[in-house]
Amino acid sequence: MKINILSNMLFYKSHIRNSIFYFGGSLIQLVFAFFSQPIYAKYLSAQDFGILGYYTSIQGFFTPLLLFGMTQYYLMNYFRQKEEENKEFLFNILAYLSLANILISSIGFVGLMLVFKSASVSVPFMPFSIFIFLILYFNIYTSFLLINLRIRKKAISYFIFSAIPPALNVGFGLFFVINLKMGAAGKLFGQVTTNILIGLLSLFYLRKYLKFKFNLGFIRKAFKYVIPLIGAGYAYYPIRSIDRIYLERLHNLSELGYYSIGVTAANFISMASLALFMAFEPDVYRYVAEKSFQKLKKIAGAYLILVALMIVVFISISPYLMNFLTSGRYTRAYKYANINAVGVFFMQVFGFLNAVIIAMKRSDYALYINIIGGSAAILIYYLLIKQFAFNGANYAYVVVGVVLSLASIAFMNREFNKIKITNKI
């Protein structure tokens, strides 16, 4: 009994230690977001928050295309290759994305402009559309740096690289909003400036993990796995981003601002949950590769219990929290935040299971699950927003989270059963 207890303590020790640093970076981000939000609330209108929320959805639409499923494909193969192979692999991934995304961003900008004109979208097009493509382009380098730091268990370096951007983002953002009076554009431009600087710095730091040897032939092999991942990304888009697209059609940009503030507050839980998950994610891929499913169950249970506790605390203090975050101007947004927080739990269940499924190299399952969830989201969001307006969007988020969780459990159990049958044979 004592041996088992000691074994469990040792098992969690490294995860807890790394979680402190991984969470620390996100905690810094949370702190800056938390204390800067009241300042932004003084200088930004509800309409400004509505514009920012709308472009968050637009940014989400282009993210799968610019990442091209390469972050997951890299993780999928990392523990199956030697160090030199991984360095060459990473170099070619970054070379491909750097070149391809110039073309993709240009086409995306023109396409977005045509959609705005034809649909008579009430949200301004410029300069926000340019900003989101710049943010996405340079964020790729930072994403791969952080992945490498997590894989290699360099928690302190991870903390540094994840803590600096929030400080710069708030510093630049407040300068552009307060001093230059740029409104919503200023807040977004602060993020643009930060992403360019940190992206270039990340690329410089990544050089130690790169082997400069061109071999873009890997793209051909990658298509089998990344195309389903890209499809899964777009199938997932309605799940998290179609809400504000539908809500914009209600032509109430001010209330969209309240809704966006509530979603942003609940997103603090998602940010904290993601920080915790980052400590476990490399081991999810490792334990799946090693077929150590008991260890996988342990970290799943620990992770979801911590997420549930965070949500309970958030809901209990949300009115006071929202009063502080908005300097008393948009306090009633806490009602949107509370419902959204419940949905966050089910989305975290889905997120963990999705990581397991991808680690199994069943990106086709990830695609099927997201198609189920995305199709459900299109219908559920439409019906509930039509019936309950802005509250309906929150209810829909919870329902869709449940659908995704159940679908993930069904597909994962199917794969586990196949593994058991194979092992018996």
Q: Reply yes or no on whether the pLDDT at 4 is more than 60.
A: no
Does the pLDDT at position 422 exceed 60?
no
**395-406 burial, b for 16+ CB within 10 Å, e for fewer?**
bbbbbbbbbbbb
The residue extents of the domains of the chain are 2-416
d(CA 94, CA 187): 28
Mean pLDDT: which of 54-68, 85-99, 134-148, 153-167 is highest?
A: 134-148
Q: Which positions ≥6 away from 205 have C-beta within 8 Å?
A: 145, 161
Q: Which residue, chain included where needed, has tokens 């894989």?
A: 151
Q: What is the pLDDT of residues 12-23, one digit of tens each?
A: 555 556 666 666
Report pLDDT for 17.
61
Nearest to 151 by CA among 268, 50, 283, 5: 283
What angle separates helix 253-290 from helix 128-151, to the nearest 10 degrees?
A: 20
Q: Tell me how far apart the alpha carbons of residues 195 and 136 are, in angstroms, rounded to a whole number.
A: 8
Contact 252, 103 (CB under 8 A): no
Please name the residue that has the structure tokens 């977001």: 33
> For residue 377, is pLDDT > 60?
yes
Q: What is the pLDDT of residue 380?
A: 92
pLDDT at 148: 85
Range 403-423 average pLDDT: 76
DSSP string across 1-47: -HHHHHHHHHHHHHHHHHHHHHHHHHHHHHHHHHHHHHHHHHHS-HH
pLDDT score of 217 more than 80: no
Mean pLDDT of 244-259: 83
Task: Please write the tens of the pLDDT for every residue from 257-300.
Answer: 888 888 888 888 887 787 778 777 777 877 777 777 777 888 88
Residue 172, pLDDT > 90, answer yes
How many Cβ atoms are within 10 Å of 270's Cβ, its own excluded? 21
Taking 70 as the threshold, does the pLDDT of residue 410 lie above it? yes
Where residue 345 falls among pLDDT bands split at 50, 70, 90?
Answer: very high
Which is more confident, 292 or 242? 242
Q: By the 8 A CB rule, do 275 and 283 touch? A: no
Q: Do the beta carbons of residue 273 and residue 352 sit within 8 Å?
A: no
DSSP states along 281-309: HHHHHHHHHHT-HHHHHHHHHHHHHHHHH
67-117: pLDDT as tens digits: 877 887 787 777 777 877 778 888 888 888 888 889 989 999 999 899 888
Asked if the model's pLDDT at residue 8 lies above 70, the reply is: no
Q: How far apart are CA 92 and CA 82, in angstroms?
A: 16
Tell whether pTM > 0.95.
no
pLDDT band at 192, cuts 50/70/90? very high
Q: What is the mean pLDDT of the chain?
A: 82
In this structure, is the dihedral angle defined by the CA atoms of residues 268, 173, 134 and 87, taken in order, positive or negative? negative
Q: In this structure, how many other beta carbons lie within 10 angstroms of the beta carbon of residue 130?
A: 15
322-336 pLDDT, tens digit each: 888 777 778 888 888
